[in-house]
Amino acid sequence: MLRRVLESIPAVSGKGKPRYSGENVNFSKICVVGLGYIGLPTAGTFAANGAKVVGVDVNPRVVETLQNGGVHIQEPGLRSIVAAAFQSGSLTVATKPVEADAFIIAVPTPIHPDKTADLSFVTAAAESIRPVLRKGNLVVLESTSPPRTTQDIVRPILEQSGLAAGKDFHLAYSPERVLPGRILRELIENARVIGGIDRASAEAGRDLYGMFVRGEIILTDATTAETVKLMENTYRDVNIALANEMLRLTERYGVNVWEAIAIANRHPRVEILNPGPGVGGHCISVDPWFLVESAPELTPLIRTAREVNDSQPEYVVRYLERVVGNLSGRRIAVLGLTYKADVDDIRESPSLEIVHLLDRRGAIPASFDPLAPALTLPGRRAQTPEEAADGADALLLLVGHKEIRALEPGRFIRRMAAPLAVDCLHAWDRAQWEAAGFTFFQMGDRHGRMQGSDAP
Ligand SMILES: NC(=O)c1ccc[n+]([C@@H]2O[C@H](COP(=O)([O-])OP(=O)(O)OC[C@H]3O[C@@H](n4cnc5c(N)ncnc54)[C@H](O)[C@@H]3O)[C@@H](O)[C@H]2O)c1
């Protein structure tokens, strides 16, 4: 069925479109532009599957770290795959693209403070490829991008080389859908969408990723592929916003939201995600804005969901005020700074916003995170959870890293000014914390319900 749908799309069916004249593109040399969470695992995986890979990053420190045998991001298995690729000579790194058979662009696509897309990294990457672009090459944009970026932004830049997309070189968009923490596995196992500016480009993309992808490879046109990625993350953002709004509602009515969601999800056609302290990361908290920017008059739901999730840190701080009282001068041990559990990525993390909000209320935060990098934040950065808890009026659980989930309440009770714990994740066991002598609050749990308005 899907195949029939896709083949009915002119850009995919390729009916009447010229195929690239030099068939059998050889992808023995691949240049991956941008060596971050996506680019480095991709480069390592291509290298492990027989390609000669040149990884390119404009950040000299990234290139230097890799050349010295280090890895600048935490991802299970990444260090060993990169080390093996360097040792065998199948991976080298550089600060500028070199001639290759295929180019993959995996650079950041953040948003400006006004929530519009910052495509400056994508344009810079395309411009850096242009001087080394040759007939027969394939260029794939992997960065999450607003609809039509491949066609309207990347294509004209590359065509300034004098080569024509679809005639002289292939051009495609292929979104990355891996889960941090499982990237190397999911790169291989996940279904991959490849959208070509024409059918030949989509097919060239299939041949490239076919070197390692074991999941289904779905061919479509470039703008559909861009839209699919944004649609997936927007779906999750709207779903989480619903969960967060349900948390606010259920607290008002004395219902345990975790129990209510678990029961609702027993319905065969309902799947509500978890509420929490907010939505962070480089994807879900950013991508929906690309759709809002492209058509604000058509996207009130998407915008509202973003606003609900963005206001969740304020909700957490108000919740804390309800259980602790006036926060001015109170010491709060903040447990977890990254945007989610068991990753070292702090981009758009709601925890950072919460620390700033605490500071603005006059509270004294002491933050602990075993994975987050060094960063400038109000208050202290503690090296251990105990150090964060020293003299604290409350423990605030924001990120469920394995180490934080497993904390024993007995480790803290004597160190704190007041034995009070606030769990925003439904991660700690109430009975265990209460048995240890803590006053325990769990956001969304009716036991922790306080009087008054819950809306931030
Ligand atoms: N991280 C994820 O889990 C994830 C998942 C799906 C999609 N994506 C998307 O993939 C893209 C890349 O994300 P990431 O998390 O790997 O970003 P990242 O910030 O971890 O890495 C990007 C790298 O690109 C480098 N860079 C920037 N401009 C460059 C240029 N002109 N030439 C060469 N290198 C350049 C940076 O120095 C950096 O090392 C983004 O569009 C993101 O939305 C990310």
Give yes or no for residue 180 CB within 6 A of ligand 1.
Answer: yes
Distance 395 CA to ligand 1 centre (A): 34
- Ligand 1 midpoint to CA 39 (Å): 7
- Between 371 and 14, name the one with better pLDDT: 371
Assess whether pLDDT exceeds 50 at residue 265. yes
pLDDT of residue 25: 57
Q: What is the DSSP string of 20-40?
A: PSS-S---SEEEEE--STTHH
pLDDT of residue 398: 98
The C-alpha atoms of residue 108 and residue 283 are separated, in whole angstroms, by 10
Given a cut of 80, whether residue 243 has pLDDT beyond it is yes
In 9-40, which positions are buried (b, 16+ CB within 10 angstroms) versus exposed (e)?
Answer: bebbebeebebbeeeebebeebbbbbbbbbbb
Is the pLDDT reported for residue 128 higher than 60? yes
Instruction: Give whole-number Cα distances, 455 to 36, 255, 258, 354, 362, in Å.
Output: 38, 16, 18, 16, 21
pLDDT at position 5 over 60: no
Question: Looking at residue 301, what is its pLDDT?
Answer: 98
Residue 109 CB less than 6 A away from ligand 1: yes
* CA 108 to ligand 1 centroid distance, Å: 4
Domains, the chain, ordered by start: 2-223 (3.40.50.720), 238-456 (3.40.50.720)
Short-list 394, 340, 395, CA closest to 371? 340
Residue bearing the bigger pLDDT, 16 or 452: 452
Reported in sequence order, the residue ranges of 10-167 that DSSP labels E, i.e. its strands, are 29-33, 52-56, 91-94, 102-105, 138-141
What is the pLDDT averaged over residues 341-346?
A: 92
Pocket test for ligand 1, best of 38, 120, 193 (most atoms within 8 A of CB): 38
Q: For residue 251, what pLDDT is reported?
A: 86
Q: What is the pLDDT of residue 447?
A: 62
Select which of 31, 283, 340, 424 is catalytic: 283
Is 229 in the active site? yes
Beta strand 192-196 with 170-173 is antiparallel
Per-residue pLDDT, 21: 39
> Average pLDDT for residues 123-141, to the nearest whole number?
98
Is pLDDT above 50 for 123? yes
Cα-based angle 91, 347, 279 (whole degrees, multiple of 5): 125
pLDDT band at 18 (very low <50, low <70, confident <90, very high): very low
Give the range among 67-76, 81-90, 235-244, 368-377 with minimum mean pLDDT.
Answer: 67-76
In angstroms, the CA 157 to CA 169 distance is 13
Residue 283 annotated in active site: yes
Residue 375: per-residue pLDDT? 94
What pLDDT digit, counting tens, does each position of 187-217 carry?
999 999 999 999 999 999 999 999 999 999 9
Structure tokens at 378: 């109000």
Cα-to-centroid distance, 57 and ligand 1 (Å): 10
Q: Considering the candidates 31, 229, 340, 424, report the single residue annotated as catalytic.
A: 229
By the 8 A CB rule, do 101 and 29 touch? yes
Residues in the chain: 456
Ligand 1 geometric centre to CA of 186 (Å) = 17
The more confidently predicted of residues 413 and 455 is 413
Substitution site in 56, 96, 145, 176 for ligand 1 pocket (most atoms within 8 Å of beta carbon): 176
Ligand 1 pocket, 128 CB below 6 A?
yes
Q: Counting atoms of ligand 1 from 1, which one is nearest the CA of 107?
A: 24
Question: Does residue 449 carry a pLDDT above 50?
Answer: no
Query: Average pLDDT in the 393-418 region?
Result: 95
**Index of the ligand 1 atom closest to the CA of residue 124:** 31
Among 31, 32, 33, 37, the mutation site with the greatest number of ligand 1 atoms within 8 A of its Cβ is 37
Q: If you average pLDDT over every residue of the chain, what do you get? A: 92
